[in-house]
Structure 1
């Protein structure tokens, strides 16, 4: 996966638990270009990787074609398994290995207004989107929510892009608390909505937009957090319809993890339940849906599931694999 060697140019604290890192090519060359919403995957010391959105906020057309640096925003997670703690500990001059930029959360180049909704560190992929909309003189509004103003990073970067498009919402300021139903209710039906933040925020936006009749392909989201095991999870069986093979999925392991260990060839990406690439038809059984892709109506049919995070309510699932 490693394609680039990058040198840390700066590592600066923005809030008590969020730092911004600037990375440049170790050999001093220009970096691969990227589009708004893109991320890079950073290789950790144990060989695993984590993905971080590019927060470059230049509003000059072409500024992201061959940038001289990448900017990231990293929140230190209390239960970090190494990713955010490693990133927070980097110093100027350190060399890391990363992938080239990749975009699973691309911004549609539409004339219609775009509504950007961020919750906490979910602001990071939306900053470059705001910069691109400004650069192209396309209409957008940006709503940024968090627990307190002191915990919100990159507000200065957003204000530099377009102050009049930005609204800050804070839980400890009741008069500013975000009202998603009212916000989406005012959004033009032909526009696009981009949301990144906690799972609950994404699910709420998805359902409100669905109830309002906004087309599903006009609601875009990215989820940073992986779905954790839940209390009461139990083993269940998965049957592969094409071969009749049956596998047991224990608590703490996903369907993808078990099937891959047994040599089943699968197509997937995010493993967080937000990209839809692993969506699989369910021929029998009742899934326990834990993704943010499907609407409540779609979940109720139990016809498909995201096998990276979802489990089973029935003892066995028969999947169209």
Structure 2
């Protein structure tokens, strides 16, 4: 999950160390293949506050951990709502939720964490593809509350596969639906063809859509586009990975990280506890402060400015450009 490479000033990412067992308080079929879940504490106590763009880690009984965007109302501290697309070719997490999880069942969650915060603007263009609508729903709510101008362009395979349409209907002609079987692909040239200085673009969806939106927004200039990716970026490297040394400042350990291991794996093998989740550079859970050394950044979270600052790294995927890194671990 990431903010766009076109940003020049990075919004602050927020996270919480809150971890708890939650109960499935409600379950709804939001669209073909999309299940909506309300998660609450069994005690009825309030859940931690969150902001539009936040996600939580959901630990599944089959050992998988998945990240899901919070798509309800941030003012509702009694329950967290998520939307889950059943991925037929996934690794089993979404299928288990769709096929097995029932009201009254419990899950372990962690968060919330926000790598995709909504920045203030006079006007927004929201672009969603499929389940990518989920983080944009609370953003739209916030835009309405702030009195900002906005429009949503929402694409999906079919109208029946597009979730939360009833919730969007009251917004009238601000919402533009683009079911592919009816009207084809999202008309990005028309939607994003004219840059506007007072407008921010927020986009979430499958990688081909995000790539196309990034191409369409290049004339908009720095800071206009913000995207969130659910999958890792294609690996781009100048050559084979090499072995390097990692010094863990707090632990007083020096580790060797060979090509076949990530920094995260080497740290965990040394018995140093580190929070992690996706292991693909998309969730931000393992972000670690860098004290010395040049990082080879391979995540899809940090902006170009943050990568150049070399202050933090996602140790699940990023490596060292030189012989040695010193980390605040």
Q: TM-score, length-normalised on structure 2?
A: 0.72
| SS class of match (2:258) | strand
Are 2:33 and 1:25 equivalent residues in the alignment?
Answer: no
Are 2:228 and 1:222 equivalent residues in the alignment?
Answer: yes
Q: Quick one: which of 65, 68, 72 aligns to 1:56?
A: 72
Q: How does 1:279-298 map to 2 (within 5 A)?
A: 291=300
Report if aligned partners of 1:291, 1:306 keep a CA contact under 8 Å in 2. Answer: no
Query: Which residue in 1 is equivalent to 2:219?
Result: 212
Are 2:154 and 1:149 equivalent residues in the alignment?
Answer: no
Q: Offset at 1:154?
A: 1.1
Report if aligned partners of 1:226, 1:271 keep a CA contact under 8 Å in 2. Answer: no
| SS class of match (2:242) | strand
| SS class of match (1:249) | coil
Q: How does 1:79-228 map to 2 (within 5 A)?
A: 79-88=89-98, 89-110=100-121, 112-160=122-170, 162-173=171-182, 175-209=183-217, 211-216=218-223, 218-226=224-232
Q: Offset at 1:196?
A: 0.9
Report if aligned partners of 2:232, 2:299 keep a CA contact under 8 Å in 1. Answer: no
Are 2:13 and 1:3 equivalent residues in the alignment?
Answer: no
| SS class of match (2:136) | helix
Mean Cα displacement is larger for which, 175-184 or 65-74?
175-184
**Distance verdict in 2 for CA 1:273–1:140, change over 3 Å:** farther
**Distance verdict in 2 for CA 1:87–1:105, change over 3 Å:** same
**Distance verdict in 2 for CA 1:180–1:270, change over 3 Å:** farther
**Distance verdict in 2 for CA 1:283–1:3, change over 3 Å:** closer
Any stretches of 5+ residues in structure 1 without a counterpart? Answer: 58-63, 300-304
Q: Quick one: which of 41, 62, 87 aligns to 1:77?
A: 87
- For the residues of structure 1 that align with 2:213 and 2:302, how far apart are their CA atoms? 11
Any stretches of 5+ residues in structure 2 without a counterpart? Answer: 1-16, 249-253, 308-312
Q: TM-score, length-normalised on structure 1?
A: 0.74
Report if aligned partners of 2:18, 2:48 keep a CA contact under 8 Å in 1. Answer: no
Report if aligned partners of 1:273, 1:293 keep a CA contact under 8 Å in 2. Answer: no
- For the residues of structure 2 that align with 1:115 and 1:288, how far apart are their CA atoms? 29
- For the residues of structure 2 that align with 1:152 and 1:197, how far apart are their CA atoms? 12
> Which has the bigger relative contact order, CA under 8 A and spacing at least 6?
2
- For the residues of structure 2 that align with 1:265 and 1:3, how far apart are their CA atoms? 16
Could you say what the CA RMSD is over the residues aligned between the two structures, in angstroms? 3.9
- For the residues of structure 2 that align with 1:212 and 1:267, how far apart are their CA atoms? 38
- For the residues of structure 1 that align with 2:215 and 2:293, how far apart are their CA atoms? 23
Give the length in aligned residue pairs.
Answer: 294
- For the residues of structure 2 that align with 1:5 and 1:290, how far apart are their CA atoms? 29
Query: Which residue in 2 is equivalent to 1:236?
Result: 241
